[in-house]
Amino acid sequence: MQEIRVTNYPEVLVDRPTHYCPGCQHGIAHRLVAEALTDLGVVDKTIAVSSIGCSVFLYNYLNLDTVEAPHGRAPAVATGVKRARPDAVVFTYQGDGDLASIGMAEIMHCANRGERVTVIFVNNTVYGMTGGQMAPTTLVGQKTTTCPGGRCLEREGAPIRMSEIIASLGGTAYCERVAVNTVKNVLGAKKAIRKAFQYQLDGKGFSFVEVLSTCPTNWRMTPVAANERVASEMIPYFPLGTFKDIAATEGA
Protein backbone atom coordinates (compact mmCIF):
# COMPACT_ATOMS: atom_id res chain seq x y z
CA MET A 1 0.00 0.00 0.00
CA GLN A 2 1.29 3.41 -0.85
CA GLU A 3 1.75 5.77 2.03
CA ILE A 4 -0.01 9.09 1.61
CA ARG A 5 1.01 11.92 3.86
CA VAL A 6 -1.99 14.02 4.80
CA THR A 7 -0.11 16.64 6.76
CA ASN A 8 3.21 18.30 6.28
CA TYR A 9 5.52 18.95 9.10
CA PRO A 10 8.56 21.16 9.33
CA GLU A 11 11.89 19.69 8.35
CA VAL A 12 13.43 20.50 11.73
CA LEU A 13 11.06 17.95 13.29
CA VAL A 14 12.82 14.60 13.02
CA ASP A 15 10.75 11.82 11.42
CA ARG A 16 11.01 9.13 14.08
CA PRO A 17 8.76 7.55 16.71
CA THR A 18 9.00 9.34 20.06
CA HIS A 19 9.46 7.75 23.46
CA TYR A 20 6.43 9.60 24.79
CA CYS A 21 3.48 7.63 26.15
CA PRO A 22 0.24 7.49 24.13
CA GLY A 23 -1.74 10.66 24.72
CA CYS A 24 1.22 12.63 26.06
CA GLN A 25 1.14 16.19 24.79
CA HIS A 26 4.90 16.86 24.88
CA GLY A 27 4.93 15.85 21.21
CA ILE A 28 2.40 18.55 20.30
CA ALA A 29 4.44 21.16 22.12
CA HIS A 30 7.59 20.00 20.25
CA ARG A 31 5.80 20.36 16.98
CA LEU A 32 4.54 23.85 17.77
CA VAL A 33 8.08 24.95 18.61
CA ALA A 34 9.31 23.43 15.35
CA GLU A 35 6.61 25.24 13.38
CA ALA A 36 7.29 28.58 15.03
CA LEU A 37 11.04 28.40 14.36
CA THR A 38 10.37 27.34 10.76
CA ASP A 39 7.77 30.06 10.13
CA LEU A 40 10.16 32.67 11.45
CA GLY A 41 13.01 31.26 9.34
CA VAL A 42 15.38 30.98 12.32
CA VAL A 43 15.98 27.23 12.58
CA ASP A 44 19.65 27.52 11.67
CA LYS A 45 20.33 30.26 14.20
CA THR A 46 18.55 28.56 17.08
CA ILE A 47 20.19 27.02 20.14
CA ALA A 48 17.95 24.85 22.31
CA VAL A 49 18.52 24.22 26.00
CA SER A 50 16.94 20.93 27.03
CA SER A 51 16.09 20.19 30.64
CA ILE A 52 15.70 17.14 32.85
CA GLY A 53 12.32 15.45 32.68
CA CYS A 54 10.49 13.38 30.09
CA SER A 55 11.55 15.95 27.48
CA VAL A 56 15.27 15.42 28.10
CA PHE A 57 15.38 13.79 24.65
CA LEU A 58 14.09 16.94 22.94
CA TYR A 59 17.27 16.81 20.85
CA ASN A 60 16.22 13.50 19.34
CA TYR A 61 13.13 15.13 17.85
CA LEU A 62 14.27 18.64 16.98
CA ASN A 63 17.26 18.84 14.66
CA LEU A 64 18.83 21.84 16.41
CA ASP A 65 22.07 22.75 18.13
CA THR A 66 21.24 21.74 21.69
CA VAL A 67 22.84 21.77 25.10
CA GLU A 68 21.52 19.71 27.98
CA ALA A 69 21.13 21.63 31.25
CA PRO A 70 21.17 20.15 34.76
CA HIS A 71 17.75 19.78 36.43
CA GLY A 72 16.15 23.21 36.75
CA ARG A 73 19.14 25.17 35.50
CA ALA A 74 18.09 25.66 31.89
CA PRO A 75 17.39 29.39 32.32
CA ALA A 76 20.92 29.91 33.70
CA VAL A 77 22.44 27.84 30.90
CA ALA A 78 20.35 29.80 28.39
CA THR A 79 21.68 33.02 29.91
CA GLY A 80 25.23 31.84 29.30
CA VAL A 81 24.38 30.80 25.75
CA LYS A 82 22.64 34.06 24.87
CA ARG A 83 25.41 36.19 26.39
CA ALA A 84 27.98 34.23 24.39
CA ARG A 85 25.90 34.29 21.17
CA PRO A 86 23.61 37.32 21.26
CA ASP A 87 22.55 36.75 17.65
CA ALA A 88 21.26 33.24 18.29
CA VAL A 89 17.62 32.44 19.03
CA VAL A 90 17.76 30.69 22.40
CA PHE A 91 15.00 28.77 24.13
CA THR A 92 14.57 26.39 27.05
CA TYR A 93 11.98 23.64 27.21
CA GLN A 94 11.16 22.69 30.81
CA GLY A 95 8.68 20.65 32.81
CA ASP A 96 6.93 21.88 35.95
CA GLY A 97 9.15 20.00 38.38
CA ASP A 98 12.19 21.32 36.59
CA LEU A 99 11.05 24.93 36.33
CA ALA A 100 8.71 25.55 39.27
CA SER A 101 10.50 23.53 41.95
CA ILE A 102 14.24 22.89 41.71
CA GLY A 103 14.74 25.62 39.13
CA MET A 104 12.65 28.35 40.73
CA ALA A 105 15.57 30.68 41.41
CA GLU A 106 16.98 30.34 37.90
CA ILE A 107 13.68 31.02 36.11
CA MET A 108 12.81 34.02 38.29
CA HIS A 109 16.12 35.76 37.78
CA CYS A 110 16.39 34.94 34.10
CA ALA A 111 12.98 36.55 33.60
CA ASN A 112 13.75 39.45 35.88
CA ARG A 113 17.01 40.25 34.08
CA GLY A 114 14.98 40.32 30.89
CA GLU A 115 17.26 37.84 29.16
CA ARG A 116 16.39 37.75 25.46
CA VAL A 117 15.42 34.10 25.59
CA THR A 118 12.16 32.16 25.28
CA VAL A 119 10.96 29.62 27.81
CA ILE A 120 8.51 26.87 26.86
CA PHE A 121 7.10 25.61 30.16
CA VAL A 122 5.19 22.33 29.95
CA ASN A 123 2.91 21.99 32.99
CA ASN A 124 1.45 18.51 33.43
CA THR A 125 0.97 18.75 37.23
CA VAL A 126 3.30 15.82 37.99
CA TYR A 127 6.90 14.68 37.84
CA GLY A 128 6.51 12.52 34.76
CA MET A 129 9.95 11.08 34.27
CA THR A 130 10.52 9.88 37.83
CA GLY A 131 7.17 8.13 38.08
CA GLY A 132 4.42 10.58 38.92
CA GLN A 133 5.42 12.20 42.19
CA MET A 134 3.84 15.41 43.45
CA ALA A 135 4.90 18.55 41.59
CA PRO A 136 4.60 22.17 42.74
CA THR A 137 1.72 22.40 40.25
CA THR A 138 -0.16 19.29 41.43
CA LEU A 139 -3.78 20.31 42.05
CA VAL A 140 -5.27 20.14 45.53
CA GLY A 141 -6.82 16.70 45.95
CA GLN A 142 -4.87 15.22 43.02
CA LYS A 143 -3.37 11.84 43.91
CA THR A 144 0.28 11.19 43.10
CA THR A 145 2.80 8.61 44.27
CA THR A 146 4.05 10.96 47.01
CA CYS A 147 0.64 12.33 47.99
CA PRO A 148 -1.37 9.12 47.71
CA GLY A 149 -4.24 10.63 49.68
CA GLY A 150 -4.37 13.63 47.35
CA ARG A 151 -2.49 16.92 47.64
CA CYS A 152 -3.41 18.56 50.92
CA LEU A 153 -3.56 22.34 51.02
CA GLU A 154 -2.58 22.53 54.70
CA ARG A 155 0.36 20.17 54.40
CA GLU A 156 1.69 20.77 50.91
CA GLY A 157 0.47 24.24 50.05
CA ALA A 158 -1.33 25.43 46.96
CA PRO A 159 -0.24 24.65 43.41
CA ILE A 160 2.00 27.37 41.99
CA ARG A 161 0.71 29.49 39.11
CA MET A 162 3.90 30.30 37.26
CA SER A 163 2.55 32.50 34.48
CA GLU A 164 1.04 34.88 37.01
CA ILE A 165 4.38 35.12 38.83
CA ILE A 166 6.50 35.51 35.69
CA ALA A 167 4.16 38.26 34.43
CA SER A 168 4.90 40.27 37.57
CA LEU A 169 8.63 40.52 36.82
CA GLY A 170 10.13 43.56 35.19
CA GLY A 171 12.14 41.80 32.51
CA THR A 172 9.20 39.83 31.12
CA ALA A 173 8.05 41.11 27.74
CA TYR A 174 5.47 38.45 27.00
CA CYS A 175 3.83 35.78 29.12
CA GLU A 176 0.94 33.56 28.08
CA ARG A 177 -0.70 30.36 29.26
CA VAL A 178 -2.06 28.02 26.58
CA ALA A 179 -3.41 24.49 26.27
CA VAL A 180 -3.31 21.96 23.45
CA ASN A 181 -6.44 19.97 24.38
CA THR A 182 -8.62 21.22 21.48
CA VAL A 183 -7.93 22.28 17.90
CA LYS A 184 -8.79 25.85 18.82
CA ASN A 185 -6.38 25.81 21.75
CA VAL A 186 -3.63 24.28 19.63
CA LEU A 187 -3.99 27.14 17.18
CA GLY A 188 -3.84 29.61 20.06
CA ALA A 189 -0.77 27.88 21.45
CA LYS A 190 0.91 28.03 18.07
CA LYS A 191 0.29 31.75 17.85
CA ALA A 192 1.61 32.33 21.35
CA ILE A 193 4.81 30.35 20.80
CA ARG A 194 5.45 32.15 17.56
CA LYS A 195 4.87 35.50 19.23
CA ALA A 196 7.23 34.59 22.07
CA PHE A 197 10.04 33.91 19.60
CA GLN A 198 9.18 37.06 17.64
CA TYR A 199 9.58 39.11 20.82
CA GLN A 200 12.99 37.57 21.35
CA LEU A 201 13.98 38.41 17.78
CA ASP A 202 12.79 41.97 18.31
CA GLY A 203 14.93 42.22 21.46
CA LYS A 204 11.88 43.08 23.55
CA GLY A 205 12.86 40.99 26.57
CA PHE A 206 12.10 37.68 28.20
CA SER A 207 9.21 35.62 26.77
CA PHE A 208 7.39 32.74 28.45
CA VAL A 209 4.70 30.34 27.26
CA GLU A 210 3.15 27.90 29.71
CA VAL A 211 1.61 24.90 27.94
CA LEU A 212 -0.93 22.90 29.96
CA SER A 213 -0.22 19.30 29.09
CA THR A 214 -1.35 15.76 29.86
CA CYS A 215 0.42 12.89 31.55
CA PRO A 216 -2.05 10.00 31.07
CA THR A 217 0.46 7.51 32.45
CA ASN A 218 0.93 9.16 35.81
CA TRP A 219 -2.59 10.48 36.04
CA ARG A 220 -3.65 6.82 35.60
CA MET A 221 -6.08 7.83 32.87
CA THR A 222 -6.79 6.97 29.26
CA PRO A 223 -5.54 9.55 26.75
CA VAL A 224 -9.11 10.69 26.17
CA ALA A 225 -9.91 11.08 29.86
CA ALA A 226 -6.59 12.87 30.39
CA ASN A 227 -7.37 15.31 27.63
CA GLU A 228 -10.77 15.95 29.20
CA ARG A 229 -9.14 16.64 32.56
CA VAL A 230 -7.27 19.58 31.06
CA ALA A 231 -10.58 21.38 30.52
CA SER A 232 -12.40 20.12 33.60
CA GLU A 233 -9.68 20.52 36.25
CA MET A 234 -6.61 22.30 34.97
CA ILE A 235 -7.95 25.30 33.08
CA PRO A 236 -10.26 26.34 35.97
CA TYR A 237 -7.21 26.64 38.25
CA PHE A 238 -4.68 27.64 35.57
CA PRO A 239 -6.68 30.03 33.39
CA LEU A 240 -5.57 30.48 29.81
CA GLY A 241 -4.67 33.87 28.46
CA THR A 242 -2.08 36.61 28.14
CA PHE A 243 -0.64 37.63 31.48
CA LYS A 244 1.76 40.19 30.10
CA ASP A 245 2.41 41.73 26.72
CA ILE A 246 4.56 44.84 26.73
CA ALA A 247 3.64 45.61 23.13
CA ALA A 248 0.00 45.80 24.09
CA THR A 249 0.84 48.11 26.99
CA GLU A 250 3.16 50.24 24.87
CA GLY A 251 0.56 50.58 22.13
CA ALA A 252 -2.21 51.59 24.53
Partner 1 sequence: MSERVFLKGNEAIARAALAAGMRCYFGYPITPQNDIPELLSAELPKAGGEFVQAESEVAAANMLLGAAACGVRAMTTSSSPGISLMQEAISYMAGSELPGVIVNMNRGGPGLGDIGPSQGDYYQATRGGGHGDYRTLVLAPGTVQEAYDLTMLAFDLAFHYRNPVMVLGDAILGQMKEPVTPHTPARTADPEAASWCLQGAVGRPGRIIKSLFLEDGALAGQNTRLAAKYQAMEAEVRAEQFLVEDAELVVVAYGSIGRIAKSTVRKLRNAGHKVGLVRPITLFPFPSAMLRALADQGKRFLTLEHNLGQMVDDVRLAIRTVADSAFHGHLPGNLPTPNDFEAPILTALGADH
Ligand X SMILES: Cc1ncc(C[n+]2csc(CCOP(=O)(O)OP(=O)(O)O)c2C)c(N)n1
Note whether 65 binds partner 1 by CB under 8 A: yes
198 binds, among ligand X, ligand SF4, partner 1, none (CB under 5 to 8 A by kind): none
Q: Which x/- pattern over 97-136 shows residues binding partner 1 (rule: CB under 8 A)?
A: --------xx-xx---x-----------------------
Note whether 237 binds partner 1 by CB under 8 A: no
Note whether 20 binds ligand SF4 by CB under 6 A: yes
Note whether 117 binds ligand X by CB under 6 A: no
113: buried, middle or exposed (CB in 10 Å: 19+, 13-18, 0-12)? middle
Given the DSSP bridges, would you call strands 126-127 and 133-134 parallel, antiparallel or unpaired? antiparallel
Site for ligand X in 42-61 (CB under 6 A): 52-55
Q: Which of 13, 28, 47, 215 binds partner 1 (CB under 8 A)?
A: 47
Contact 208, 175 (CB under 8 A): yes
Integer distance in angstroms from the first to the last C-alpha of the chain?
57
Residue nearer to ligand SF4 on the CB measure, 93 or 206:
93
Note whether 40 binds partner 1 by CB under 8 A: no
Note whether 136 binds ligand X by CB under 6 A: no
Q: How far is CA 231 from the centre of its chain?
A: 18
For Cα atoms 40, 45, 50, give the angle at the middle one, nearest 5 degrees.
100
What separation in angstroms does the CA of 8 have from each of 20, 136, 246, 251? 21, 37, 34, 36
Note whether 170 binds partner 1 by CB under 8 A: no
Site for ligand X in 70-99 (CB under 6 A): 71, 95-98
Residue 92, CB-side half-sphere exposure with 13 Å CA sphere: 37
Note whether 64 binds partner 1 by CB under 8 A: yes
Note whether 139 binds ligand SF4 by CB under 6 A: no
Q: How far is the CB of 250 from ligand X (least distance, A)?
A: 34
Q: How far is CA 120 from the centre of its chain?
A: 3
What separation in angstroms does the CA of 55 have from each of 9, 52, 61, 116? 20, 7, 10, 22
Site for ligand SF4 in 54-73 (CB under 6 A): 54
Q: How far is the CB of 129 from ligand SF4 (least distance, A)?
A: 6
143 binds, among ligand X, partner 1, ligand SF4, none (CB under 5 to 8 A by kind): none
- β partners of residue 95: 122
